[in-house]
Each structure stands twice: as C-alpha cells, then as structure tokens.
Amino acid sequence: MALKNINYLLIFYLSFSLLIYIRNSFCNKNNTRCLSNSCQNNSTCKGFSKDNDCSCSGTANNVDKDCDNMKDPCFSNPCQGSATCVNTPGERSFLCKCPPGYSGTTCETTIGSCGKNSCQHGGICHQDPIYPVCICPAGYTGRFCEIDHDECASSPCQNGAVCQDGIDGYSCFCVPGYQGRHCDLEVDECASDPCKNEATCLNEIGRYTCICPHDYSGINCELEIDECWSQPCLNGATCQDALGAYFCDCAPGFLGDHCELNIDECASQPCLHGGLCVDGENRYSCNCTGSGFTGTHCETLMPLCWSKPCHNNATCEDSVDNYTCHCWPGYTGAQCETDISECNSNPCQSDGECVELSSEKQYGHITGLPSSFSYHEASGYVCICQPGFTGIHCEEDVNECSSNPCQNGGTCENLPGNYTCHCPFDNLSRTFYGGRDCSDILLGCTHQQCLNNGICIPHFQDGQHGFSCLCPSGYTGSLCEIATTLSFEGDGFLWVKTGSMTTKGSVCNIALRFQTVQPMALLLFRGNRDVFVKLELLSGYIHLSIQVNNQPKVLLYISHNTSDGEWHFVEVIFAEAVTLTLMDDSCKEKCISKAPSPLESYQSICAFQNSFLGGLPVGTTSDGVSLLNFYNIPSTPSFVGCLQDIKIDWNHITLENISSGSSLNVKAGCVRKDWCESQPCQSRGRCINLWLSYQCDCHRPYKGPNCLRGKFCRQSRLPSTVCGNEETNLTCYNGGNCTEFQAELKCMCRPGFTGEWCEKDIDECASDPCVNGGLCQDLLNKFQCLCDVAFAGERCEVDLADDLISDIFTAIGSVTLALLLILLLAIVASVVTSNKRATQGTYSPSRQEKEGSRVEMWNLMPPPAMERLI
C-alpha cells in the first residue's frame, strides 16, 4: 500500500515540472532578447520580434553582432607620437612600439621633455630631442623657472634704506635725508633756507636745526622771545615786554629793577610806648601786646586786665596800677597759673588710677569724669578703680562670690579684685571639675595614673586636656616614677657638681628632707676653701654657717630638735638675704632665720662648683693635704640616716643623675632597722634606736650595753614606788610618789620629770632660754647655758664688753666678802669647840627619843638618796 502511494507522488511531481517548462518556453518566443541587456561595450540593442541585434558605437565594422568581440584592437590608432600599434595574438589587445623620445602605454609621454605646462612663470619649453629645457624669463631661474632671483641679496640700497625685490629688478626705499636709486645721495634740508631772522641753518640727516639769534625762538626762529614769560617782576609788579628786554612797573610799597625791595614803613618808628611795628605791603601795624597801651599807634593807655593776665579762666580785677586774679578752686598762683595736684597724696587705693578734675584732655575719654569740662568743677579728683574694687577711693573690695559663680559644687574664695573657685572631685561619678567657674569636666586623668601613690591633677589648657602628678615625698618625675630617697650609712658622701645647674634668675637654693637620730652630723657642704656654706646638725639643731676667707660671716640656727628619727624639711635660699627655713609638723609656725648676704655679690654663692651631701671625702688631695684641712673646716661627723627630695638650685638630685665614683656608702631608698624591736635593754632600761645600732638608757643601779650590770645602792638612786595589788599595780620612777585616788593609780612626779610613770626628763631647753647665741644644755630640773666668750650670765644675757669695769669691782668686793666670811666661821668654830669640851659627860637623848616612830619606818623602807632630794 505504501509503495503504491509513493508512485502516485512521483507521477504528480513529474507532471508539475513538465507544465512549468512548457510555460517558460512559450513566453520566451513571444519577447525580445533586449530585456536581458545582452549588448556589451556601450552598444545599443535593437528590439525585434526575431533575434535581437546590437548597434555598436563607432565600431560597427570592427565588432561582432553582440559588440563584445573586437575584430582589430589597433583599428582606432590608439598609439600616439607616430608609434606603431601591434595586435596581441589571442587577447584582442594591442601594444604600442614608441619611437625614440617617447614612452607610456600609448607613447603619450616624451622622455626628457619639459612636460605639460612644466615651465613656470612664463618659461618656454625648448623641445630638444635629446634634452629639452625651459627658457626662463628675466628674473627667474631653475629647471622649471621656479626660482625667483633675489636682486636684493647684494644689498644695493645704502644708508639704511629698505630694498624691495621685484621682477627682474629691485627698488630702494630711502630713509629721510637720503635720495637716489641706491639712496646714496644725502638731501640738503637747508637748501630751501627755512631759518628766519638771520638764523643759522645746520643740515642734519633727515632734518635741519636753526640756531636762533638772541630774542628769537621757534623751529625756524620765527617767534620773538617774551622776556616777561619767566615772570621776573616780584611782589605783584606788572612786566612790560620790549625787544630784547623788559620793564617792571612796581606796586605801591616796592621798588627795584624787579620790585624786590619792600619799602620799610616802620623806618619812621610810628608805634609808641614800646609797641612792636609790623611792616606790611605798603602799610604797617602796631602790636601793642605787653605795652599796656592800645590804638593804631599804641597811643591809648588800656586797663591791665585787657591783656588777660589771669590763667585758667580766672577773673581779673583792675586796680590803680595793678590787677588781682581771682582763681577757681583747684588753682593757685599770682596769675592762677598753677594747677593744684590733688593726686600727689595718692588717695586712690587698690591700684586705682587718680585723675584730676582739671585734666581737660581726659574728658570724654575716661568713665567717671563729667561729660564736659567746667572750671568751677575742676577742683578735686576721681578714682578710676581696678575691676573688683569700688568706692570713692577704691577702698571697697567687691565680693565677686556674691553671684555664686562657681558651679558643680565649687567653693568660691573672694580675693582682692578677683575670685577663685576651688573645684571639687565628685566621688560618686568620679569626675573632676575645673575651669575658672568649675564648669569644665577635666578628662586629663581618665586614662592616666600616677605611680607611687601620686595624686593625678587634671587640667585644661590651650584647648587640650592634660594632667600633672602631685608626687608624695620621696618621688619625682612626670608620673612620680623617679625615687629621690637616699640612705647614708656613715663615713660616706655624695658629691654633686653644681656649677652648671640652672638658677631662677639670681636666686639659688638648697632644699632637702632628712631623717636621723644623730645630734651632730654634716648635711651639706658647698663652696671652696675661701668661701663655703655648711649646713649641719649641732645638738639636734639645724645650723647654717657661711665662712669667707677663714672668717665666719653668717651663723643661722633654729632651736628645734630634729634628731628624733622623724622626717624634717629644711631649705636655704641665697639671694640678697640668706634665709634658713625649717618646715616641721611640730612647729606652730614656720621656723625661719634670716640674715643679710655676707658677699658683695650673692650670685657668687650660686656659682660654687662643688657640693657634698652627708660628709666630705676622707682622702687626700694630689699634694697630700687632707680634704678637711684643704677646705679648712672643723671635723664634723658624717651623716647617718636618710635624705630625700634633694634640690640644689631647684634641680632634683637622684642617683640617676650622679656620675659613678661620686658617692660612697650611699644607697637608694631608706634602709633603717628597728634595733629596739627585740627589746635588748634589760632591767626596764629604755632602748634608743641609733639607726646603725642602739643604746640603752638604764635605770640605776644598772648599767652596761644592755643594763645587765649593777648593784642595789640606796644612796645612789632615786626611789621607785609601787602601789596597787597583785592584779593591778603601778611603778613610779625617778622619785615619783605612787598614790591611789578614787580607785585610780597615779604617779605624782618630782620637779624635772613628767610622764605617766615619771619616766620622762623634762627638756628645760625647749623654750630656748639662752640668748646671744648661747648653747643650752638640759640638766635635772634645770638648764645650763654655754655662752660665747663675749657673753656671760645664767642666760648669756650679760655683754662682757659693756660690764667689764663693773665686773672687776664686783669681783674685788666678792673676794673681800669671802675672806671676811672665812674669818667669821673660824671664830664660830673655835667657840663651839670650847663649849663642847665644857659639856662632856652630860646626858644625850637617844635616837628613839629624838626621832620617835620614824626609826621604825626607816627600818621598813630605805630612805631616798639625799643627794637627789636637794
């Protein structure tokens, strides 16, 4: 079945193709062939019902019927110049064989010819068979006449003329003054006789100059000179011009060729009574000032007040041959010429500015003066107060704290003319406040921490938050990171070179804190063998001495015990005066001693080269001299203890800034052992810490290093009393009386002792009783003054230089009285001896009868040592 269908399809396809072929064949027979544009080579097709025919243009006899095949390519003579055309076999093309002198496909180019229009600028081509050339017109050259010949190249034009090149020639353009083809001829500008009035003509290049005779001017001397042009006539005279001259017509009051002379109208002395004549132009005037006269010629007597002799707007009153000036308040003098200076007494306080009411120039410029000046208000003054003060004399301090300017809990402190806010630290929010009014939160300590218990102080300056550390004693540095404490262990020193250190202007200082138990020690030595300063401890007191050329000049001391093992601060300032200051908690006020500087220039103290702390070197100099003898000072024990916060000339001294080899037995820190911690003193002895060792203060009869030796001796000790019972008892020392009062045990101390157990000896030297430099020594219930050689007395109050004569008489009287007393005692002893011998063998009462029951009491309790009861 499938095969049958395929056959049907094949028959259908073949039938359809046959119909298409028959249709196309039928159409082609009924149309011309011109529709296909089959004519070639620009020929024209002639459409006929039969076969088409092509009409070829110009070559009808040389092509086939379709005009596409030429019969002879040379038919049209394409070769030029008598060339021979040769057909190319089989290619229907041709080849031109050119005669000599020609080339190209059709021999159109002549070899070596001038070419078509190749000769320029009108050149004519010469057709030479061998080498044609261009014959150039005049002024041109070159193969094709392309080069214009420059006739100006030889510079034919002279005298700066400009040459212009032309065709077969050139032109010269002359500068003024020259002419000719080459500008070689100079023009004579004087040839036309241009100068007038017999002037001389000078011929110059391109121009002329006329030398005019006198009285003429102008380019050609054509103008007559006006002698009046220079205005020779003075003082308003009229000038008359003439030929070669002029004449001056003078104004009244003047004469001379130029009217330069002023006629002196004062020559006749017209002014009277000493009036001053003032000469004018054709007139005069009289100045009558000071003459006492008036009028045109000072002929009229005038009142004295007319001359206004009174100053400062005073009122003038005339009298016979005199006048009187009535001054305004604030002025004085015969003519009220003196302004009374009310400000001379400095009435304005608190730096107020005193301005007198008579200062007219100050009005309108200073607040406090009236709006305008008036003489009747010119007496007196006003005070222009500084900010913060008020009152007529600026005597009142304005309380700036009344407005409560301090914020955030700040405390306001009123100051003279100002105030300051003490800003708090908010512990709750941990916030610092600062600024003038405590309105700023200070952030400088937020991320900073001071070392060694330093206190961070924030601040705000120049728009930046910052901080500073308030260091405790013994530390310095921006963060309190540098230790300043040094330990001196005896027989040592610290050598500091101070000559290069900086001082504050002309002031230098020595400051340090010290801790010791030594009563005698050298703290600091500064200077040389001629001039030196020594700071030392003598009997526990601070002493400062300055020696100049082996002579002591200054001796300052502060009678306050500093050998107590506590920290003490001492400072010495060298300026116009030498100041010794001891800052101690036990001083109610600052302990200060001051004296004038002993040197001509106190700056020389600041220039000392060497300072020794704690002692001086024990060695010798290069010449074998002991350093102590070299500096010529008495031997002083070296310091044992601790120094800290040492400043010399305001600079901190630490081990870090001391060179090696400059110290001996000096260590960092404060090394101190409590030698009494182990209670080495026995028998109730008191242990005293001596820094490097200890000392026992033993009770009688004990002695020895630890109070272990001694016997009971009734006569050699002060009794101790004990009261109470076995559970509660009290021992009173140094002869104290132990009593029981209202169930309370107490010690009643003997004079010279104090304390709960009467164990303390009262220091009678604490009140500094010795005067005139006397040194006080503490004794039992009294003191003794060791006086200078020039003083005497219990308190060194007697000046021996003043009382020498009276003392001599006193001594003589004392010796006489003593001799009389001895004689009297000898007589009494003789009488007593005689009486005793007369009464031998008589009854003598027993001790029992004399002393009664006291004998029994002494048997129970030994009597106190009598020598201590006086």
The Cα angle at residue 608 between residues 599 and 527, in degrees rounded to 5: 80
Place 762 in a pLDDT band, splitting at 50, 70 and 90.
Answer: confident
- Give a yes or no: residue 822 inside a domain: no
pLDDT reading at 425 higher than 70: yes
Q: Note whether 578 and 536 are same-domain residues.
A: yes
Residue 823 has pLDDT above 50, yes or no: yes
Q: What is the pLDDT of residue 38?
A: 53
C-alpha distance from residue 79 to each of 85, 99, 100, 110, 114 (Å)? 6, 11, 14, 13, 21
Please state the φ and ψ torsions of residue 628, each to the nearest 5 degrees: -65, -40
* pLDDT of res. 147: 81
Same domain, 458 and 517: no
Residues 506 and 539 in one domain: yes
Kindly state the average pLDDT of the residues 568-591. Answer: 85
**Confidence tier at 363 by pLDDT (50, 70, 90):** confident
Which of the four pLDDT bands, split at 50, 70 and 90, describes residue 868?
Answer: very low
* Residue 846 within any structural domain of the chain: no
pLDDT tens per residue, range 723-734: 766 556 677 888
Do both 570 and 649 map to the same domain? yes
Residues 522 and 581 grouped into a single domain: yes
Q: What does the alpha-carbon distance between residue 49 and residue 54 come to, in Å, rounded to a whole number?
A: 14
**619: in domain:** yes
pLDDT at 8 over 90: no
Residues 236 and 284 in one domain: no
425-434, 575-584, 829-838: the lowest-pLDDT one: 829-838
Choose the final residue of a domain: 434, 462, 483. 483
| Shared domain check, 724 and 612 | no
Q: Quick one: 642 and 525 in the same domain?
A: yes
Question: Are 593 and 660 members of one domain?
Answer: yes
Asked whether residue 82 is assigned to any structural domain, the reply reads no
Q: Examine the domain organization and report whether 239 and 356 are in the same domain.
A: no
Q: Tokens representing 487?
A: 């330990």
Q: Minimum mean pLDDT among 108-117, 366-375, 620-629, 760-769: which range?
A: 620-629
Compute the mean pLDDT over every residue in the chain, rounded to the nearest whole number: 78
Rounded to whole angstroms, the Cα distance separating 310 from 328 reads: 11
> Tell me, what's the pLDDT at 536?
93
CA 741 to CA 762: how far, in whole Å? 25
Percentage of the chain exceeding pLDDT 90 = 16
pLDDT of residue 70: 60
Mean pLDDT of the region 680-701? 83
State which residues form the domain around 409: 400-442
CATH code for position 233: 2.10.25.10
Give burial (CB, 10 Å; 0-12/13-18/19+) of 343: middle
- In three-state secondary structure terms, 228 is helix
Higher-pLDDT residue of 768 and 810 is 768
Give me the pLDDT at residue 40, please. Answer: 58
* Average confidence (pLDDT) over 469-488: 93
Residue 652 placed within a domain: yes
Residue 849 pLDDT level (bands cut at 50, 70, 90):
very low
Which value, to the nearest 10 degrees, does the dihedral of the CA atoms of residues 609, 599, 577, 585 take? Answer: 50
Q: Are residues 490 and 461 in the same domain?
A: no
Domain boundary among 161, 186, 211: 186
Quote the DSSP letter at residue 633. -
Task: Count structural domains, the chain.
Answer: 10
Q: How far apart are CA 531 and CA 510, in angstroms?
A: 16
> Is residue 865 in a domain?
yes
Mean pLDDT of 528-546: 89
- Find the mean pLDDT for residues 85-109: 80
**Mean pLDDT to the nearest integer, 759-773:** 84
Burial grade of 477 (CB within 10 A; 0-12, 13-18, 19 or more): middle
Average the pLDDT over each of 243-247, 256-260, 400-404, 767-771 and give the range with the smallest value: 243-247
Q: Which of 414, 442, 470 is the last residue of a domain?
A: 442
Angle at 706 between CA 704 and CA 711, to 5 degrees: 50
The answer on 603 and 581 residing in a single domain is: yes
